[in-house]
């Protein structure tokens, strides 16, 4: 069955990674599944959205698809796909965030307006967060029976719990290795993490993987906090390199500000940390509490998060050792893709 997967956001974002994983595992089931990689990395003023509209429009010319799956409803992807909807193609829109909630200005209002409008182009909706699904149903009652819970999962062929670190561990053998990965943008809150680790007295190194529009800003923050010799910014990394860095970690970090938008997120990094059997310090915001039996959970505040890092950099129990089994059972892309493909087959028959 001809299926196309698109990501509205830039190539170095978590949303595009979600799209890629979905493609990777659906294409193992059906060779007719396609994925168009976004052409640009994140740009200032969201220019990548504007430029990619023309790219997608021309890439989609003279194609035929039964189903198009769009990760995030933005004009750069939804508008070009409307030509196919007229021809009978079914459009599924994946809502993986409350995008307008990260800002409090006119851009936020524009995003909210556009997404509320563009979502109506979908024949079906998917989402990875149960609270977000409730909100979607409340705001869009016409989709009450047209929402599929598509989990945020892990590529277990990359993030393996028994992966052995190479030279990284040896290089920093006298220091604790902390680890954080993200697209360095408005949603990463890496400044807060830098503030938290600046209070650690023990010898440590923080490896931060990923790039994005805020990367240079975070480098300046690290310098201001006298952390320049304690934070390694790797920039963009392929998945295997990221997993190799992660394999060396003594402690992994996840932090969300305690604001409404983070009630509706599903942390990919948290799942990937646990898939590799790593100790994780995270604060109790949104769905993070669902992993409380396998992580070192602080209160929601930055001060509580900081205190938990200080505690766990010196003292761990065995709870994290069970984490990878939990991920394997519940958040495996291979299993999730098989279930979703069956859903797509039925959807194509019934819509």
| Each residue's pLDDT tens digit, 23-69 | 999 999 999 999 999 998 887 777 888 899 999 999 998 888 999 99
Using DSSP, state whether 151 is helix, strand or coil: coil
Q: How far apart are CA 264 and CA 247, in angstroms?
A: 28
Q: How far is CA 97 from CA 126, 264, 283, in A?
A: 11, 6, 19
pLDDT at position 89 is 94
Please say whether the beta carbons of 10 and 42 come within 8 A: yes
Q: Where are the domains of the chain?
A: 3-153+332-350, 167-330
pLDDT of residue 351: 62
Residue that the structure tokens 């409008």 belong to? 117
Q: What is the DSSP string of 323-337?
A: HHHHHHHH-BHHHHH
**Per-residue pLDDT at 132:** 95
Q: What is the pLDDT of residue 276?
A: 96
Return the closest-CA partner of residue 113 out of 88, 132, 139, 91.
Answer: 139
Which among 250, 272, 256 is positioned nearest to 206, based on CA atoms? Answer: 250
Going by C-alpha positions, the residue among 16, 158, 7 that lies closest to residue 73 is: 7
What CATH class does 167-330 carry? alpha beta
Count of C-beta atoms within a 10 Å radius of residue 307: 16
Q: Structure pTM?
A: 0.93
Answer yes or no: are the C-beta atoms of 42 and 50 closer than 8 Å.
Answer: no
- Give me 174's structure tokens: 């006298």
* Burial degree of 125 (CB within 10 A; 0-12, 13-18, 19+): buried
Question: Could you say which residues of the chain have pLDDT below 70?
Answer: 351
Torsion of CA 16, 254, 185, 267, to 10 degrees: 30
Residues in the chain: 351
In words, the CATH class of domain 3-153+332-350 is alpha beta
| Fold matches, 3-153+332-350 and 167-330 | yes
């Amino acid at each position: 069955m001809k299926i196309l997967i698109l990501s509205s956001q830039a190539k170095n974002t978590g949303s595009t990674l979600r799209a890629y994983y979905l493609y990777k595992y659906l294409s193992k089931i059906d060779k007719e599944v396609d994925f168009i990689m976004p052409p640009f990395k994140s740009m200032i003023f969201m220019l990548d959205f504007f430029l990619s509209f023309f790219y997608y429009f021309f890439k989609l010319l003279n194609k035929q698809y039964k189903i198009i799956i769009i990760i995030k409803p933005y004009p750069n992807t939804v508008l070009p796909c409307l030509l196919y909807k007229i021809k009978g193609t079914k459009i599924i829109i994946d809502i993986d965030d409350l995008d307008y909630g990260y800002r409090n200005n006119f851009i936020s209002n524009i995003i909210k307006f556009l997404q509320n409008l563009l979502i109506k182009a979908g024949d079906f909706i998917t989402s990875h967060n149960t609270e977000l699904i409730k909100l979607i149903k409340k705001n869009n009652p016409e989709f009450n029976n047209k929402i599929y819970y598509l989990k945020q999962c892990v590529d277990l062929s990359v993030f393996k719990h028994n992966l052995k670190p190479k030279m990284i561990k040896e290089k920093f053998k006298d220091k604790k290795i902390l680890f954080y990965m993200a697209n360095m943008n408005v949603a990463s809150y890496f400044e807060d993490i830098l503030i938290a680790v600046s209070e650690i007295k023990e010898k440590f190194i923080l490896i931060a993987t990923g790039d994005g529009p805020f990367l240079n800003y975070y480098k300046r923050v690290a310098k201001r906090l006298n952390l320049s010799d304690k934070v390694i910014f790797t920039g963009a990394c392929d998945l295997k390199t990221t997993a190799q860095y992660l394999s060396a970690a003594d402690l992994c970090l996840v932090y969300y500000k305690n604001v409404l938008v983070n009630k509706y997120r599903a942390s990919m990094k948290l799942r990937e940390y646990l898939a590799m059997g790593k100790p994780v310090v995270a604060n109790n915001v949104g769905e993070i509490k669902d992993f409380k039996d396998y992580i070192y959970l602080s209160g929601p505040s930055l001060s509580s998060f900081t205190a938990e890092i200080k505690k766990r950099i010196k003292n761990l129990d065995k709870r994290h050792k069970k984490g990878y089994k939990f991920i394997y059972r519940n958040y495996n892309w291979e299993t999730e893709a098989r279930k979703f493909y069956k859903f797509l087959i039925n959807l194509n028959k019934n819509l």
